[in-house]
Amino acid sequence: MTGADLFAGPAPRWFNIPAHRPFVRDLAQGLFDALADGGPEALSQAVVLTPTRRGARALADAFLAAAGGRAVLPPQIRPLGDLDAGESPFEPGELAARLPAAIEPLRRRLELTRLVKTHEGLLRRELDASAALELADALGGFLDSLQIEEVDATAALTDLVEAELAEHWQVSRDFLETALAAWPERLRTLGVVDISARRVRLLRALADQWSARPPQGVLVAAGSTGTAPATADLLRVIAEAPQGCVVLPGLDESLAGEAWSNVDEQHPQGAMRRLLLRARITREDVETWPASRPFQSQGRWRRRIVNEALRPAEDTADWLNVIHALRAEGAEEGVDPIAEGLKGLSVVTARSEEEAATAAALLLRETLETPGATGALVTPDQNLARRVSLKLARWGVVPDSSVGAPLSACPVGVLAGEIAKLAAEPLNPVMMLGVLKHPLVRLGESREALEGRLADLERHGLRGPRPADWAALTRRLAEKIEDEGRRSGAAGLVLALRTALLPLTDMSEPAPAALRAEALAQAMEALAADGAGSPGRLWGGQGGEAMSQLLSGLIAEAGALPPVTPRGFADLLTRLMGEETVRAGGATHPRLRILGAIEARLVRADRLVVAGLEEGVWPQGAPLDPFLSRPMRERLGLPPPERRVGLAAHDFAQAACAPDVVLLHSERREGQPAVKSRWLWRLETLARGADLDPLPGRPELLDWARRLDAAETYAPIARPAPVPPVADRPTKLAVTRIEALTRDPYAVWARDILKLYALDRPDEPVEARARGTAIHAAFERFATDWPKALPPDAPREFARLYLEALVEAGAPPESLAREAALAREAAEWVVALEAERRADGRDIHVEQGGQIVVRAGGRDFTLTAKADRIETGPDGFAHILDYKTGQAPSKKMVETGFSPQLTLTAAIVARGGFAGIPARPPGDLLYLQVTGRRPGGRGGTRGEAGAGSRDAAERGQAGAGRQVGP
């Protein structure tokens, strides 16, 4: 076919490439066939507009295939620009020069944030920088919608909110009215325009120019669904050009007329029906693309089945009649259309996202086993796409992926975020270790030398409670590290870190975000500096370049932001980095691709893995709009949220019509049950309605995925059963260790035999430990300072002792206000308890140590105890009390021997094991649980004075003998 034949028909010229055909391949072949006879320059002088840049690159590759591998000059391929996807259209020089420049995306976000913060009073909220940025992004989306849909909402907003609606919407209306007046004025002051507005004006200017002076050369717009009015009108102009045409992706020509009239926003054909109505043409006016005509019968049943499954909901009640009609149509060819259409279509149900990623990677890897075969993963789920890329890396395969990673997940982004958080809490050990252990950090030396000093700093300085200040951290190192060289090395590392953070920590609060961004860059370079003072790999690569652009943009443009605190700046930076995508470069496998949903509209592979088929993922849920309700959007003339569902449905239908398709979904996402996509439900329902088996799966694939990292033979390791030699076993244990031996013998084996002691965690919470220590100390001082009579204002004295003991135990200052209230409640209960127990003049012995020797397994064994309190009095008994700030053991646990602390202490008392306390029969065995709430505490008796406590002591001693015996 020649170019004259392709454009011989009267304008407008609208073509369609069916969904089952590879779009760019047929498009390239059709243009090559039509223009090849016009000489080598005919093809190169044609102009082809595609929706996206990746589509343009794929089309250029397809022309090489159409030419049979011969050198060919392809057409001028330009991205038309999908306005919703953020693609920028090509800019004809003479038109672009007449329009103002577009505002930079980062500056726009920051300027909108300033606008939101300036008018926060209208929103009746006080906003920090991060919250203002969040609302600014929502405001930016609203402005983009107005500009793309070319809606003037200035007048419409006045009558937008009805009286009966919630006050929240009236607040939104007032704010939007102010924003719509202030934002254009701000843009005029800056001499720029919004990106979406500029694109619309450019497309309008291009349509006007081509309407007045139609281009005489070949002009083709391919793959666009014309969702924006400006794009749709430009497509109409292109179709009417002397040698112009529009090629649609996957127009359903077989959908019944009544069903076509019911197509709504959520239907996959909704965008194209809207486009055809705007262009004032019918489906019958759209011809099949010449290169696709010979293959119309191939895969047409798949196309018919997918389109029927996704037909408007109002027409699904007629599915049985549709199935009968299809089978009657297929009877002429001797096939079952439903079964034929489902051939090559399979469903894989994974348990979780991790298993789904492994299954997708295996499917793509399996494709490479067939020489020349291509494979592609199609999903809107970027996290899943990144997981699949990592899974493929185990085989050394790097797919050509359009999915990047957020800047916050890149090494340099992680470092920036950690430093910003550390500036808010400079002495947070966890954050400090996160910065110092980052692979980019050098602090002027090699990584190996740094790690040696870091090990000492972590072990002796950062594990345990958080240091109160830098001096306390240095003192801790001096106390715990004996070697002078190692001590000075760890202290020097602390000094180097503190010096690097000074630009951030010495700043006033709050401070301008631009100054904090500049200080962050200085701190990052100081931390990453090598021996020569160079920042090394900090700003290198795609991530480093993106980070440097973000920080330079903040330094230059953040003057529009309100001053921020260190914590506010960390939150702001995290949000900004999360919106920046970094795409890795380098060599990729020529036969594997990972595509987004829009890209898959044009690009096809021999095997498509369509993944992320869960509700909320594909299709995505409607975004939350803090400013407009659904009726308000409708009254303004903005598209409903369902339009995005319809576009996603069209992209799914395009992918599902490929010859070899695996539909992949997961039963659970983020640990929660997931609902499979509505489109997958419909396909399965249609198959059941046709009395066919469910869509075939790939059970062996999931078995491979589950066995991929499993051991070849399953031989679980037996439970540890240590039997240390008798000579190595301890011959002396405290009663608390006997309790540990009863509950967890491995802990006793590790600590008391192997001498292994657990390390404290970095930033160990100190409140619970300090509270227990303080309660014991307060009871001890209260009893020793006033052994008989209680002091005047006894509750105040006990509360004072408790708070002083808290400070000595290292309780953080911020907890003391809360503890003071708890101390008052506890003191009232403690004083009442003391008055009751001291009424008979008994003697009180606190923190007394004692021991006895028992015979166990033919050898002597020493039991030791340090009793919180022993009371002896005229009744002849020795009452034993133990203080608890947590949950006290139950009476059953004491009686069964799981908590033998009190009973063993009673046994030592009964045998006179405590110096200064004559042997006496054990009295009450009592736990005192101090809560600080109302009531301030409670007592729990675990053994009554007399036979009960005596028998408990004997059982406890006998049980201990069995425990420690060989």
Token pair of 237, please? 């102009």
CA distance 544 to 870: 67
Query: Does residue 228 contact residue 149 with C-beta atoms inside 8 Å?
Result: yes
- The larger pLDDT score, comparing residue 243 to residue 72, is at 243
pLDDT reported for residue 665: 93
**pLDDT surpasses 80 at 85:** no
- Nearest 5°: the CA angle 403, 406, 411 is 115
Give the tokens for residue 45.
């002088």
Query: Cβ(884)–Cβ(928) under 8 Å?
Result: yes
The CA-atom distances, in angstroms, between 173 and each of 90, 197, 426, 490, 528 are 36, 22, 43, 59, 49
- 689 or 351, which is more confident? 351
Mean pLDDT score, 673-690 = 88
Work out the average pLDDT over 882-904. Answer: 85
Greatest Cα-to-Cα distance within the chain, rounded to the nearest angstrom: 122
Mean residue pLDDT of the chain comes to 86
H/E element, 938:
strand 937-943
Tell me if 701 sits within 8 A of 359, measured CB to CB. Answer: yes
Residue 295, pLDDT > 90, answer no
Q: In the predicted model, what is the mean pLDDT of residues 922-939?
A: 83
Q: For residues 869 and 779, is the Cβ–Cβ distance under 8 A?
A: yes
Which residue did the predictor score with more confidence, 859 or 237? Answer: 237
- More confident of the two residues 600 and 445: 445
Task: Please tell me the predicted confidence (pLDDT) of residue 317.
Answer: 66
Confidence of residue 940 (pLDDT cuts 50, 70, 90): confident
Q: Read off the pLDDT of residues 841-852 as tens digits, 9 standing for 90 and up.
A: 888 999 999 999
Side-chain-side CA neighbours of residue 194 (13 Å): 24
Query: In which band, very low, low, confident or very high, does the pLDDT at 348 lie, cut at 50, 70 and 90?
Result: very high
Strand pairing category for 581-582 and 192-193: unpaired
Q: How many CB atoms lie within 10 A of CB 768?
A: 11
Q: What is the pLDDT of residues 480-497, one digit of tens each?
A: 998 888 999 999 999 999
Quick check: 478 and 487 in contact, CB under 8 A?
yes
Higher pLDDT, 96 or 137: 137
Mean pLDDT of 6-22: 88
DSSP strands (E only) in 145-232: 192-193, 219-222
Strands (DSSP E) found in 587-629 = 592-595, 607-611
Tens of pLDDT, residues 388-423: 999 999 999 989 887 778 899 899 999 999 999 999
> Taking the model in full, what pTM does it have?
0.82
pLDDT-derived band of residue 829, with 50, 70 and 90 as boundaries?
Answer: confident
Residue with the larger pLDDT of the pair 918 and 334: 918
Q: What is the mean pLDDT of residues 614-629?
A: 83
Instruction: Give the pLDDT mean for 550-554.
Output: 92
Q: What is the mean pLDDT of residues 334-347?
A: 86
pLDDT tens-digit series, residues 169-209: 788 888 888 999 999 999 999 999 998 898 899 889 989 99
Query: Helices 767-785 and 816-837 sit at what angle, rounded to 10 degrees?
Result: 40
What is the tens place of the pLDDT at every residue in 110-155? 899 989 988 888 888 888 888 888 899 999 999 999 999 998 887 7
What DSSP element (H or E) covers 378? strand 375-378
pLDDT of residue 67: 83
Residue among 899, 581, 611, 896 at smallest CA distance from 735 = 899
pLDDT tens digit sequence for 770-794:
888 888 888 889 888 888 888 888 8
For 731, phi then psi, to 5°, come to -110, 5
Most confident of 40-54, 657-671, 764-778: 657-671
Residue 395, amino acid: W
pLDDT of residue 357: 95
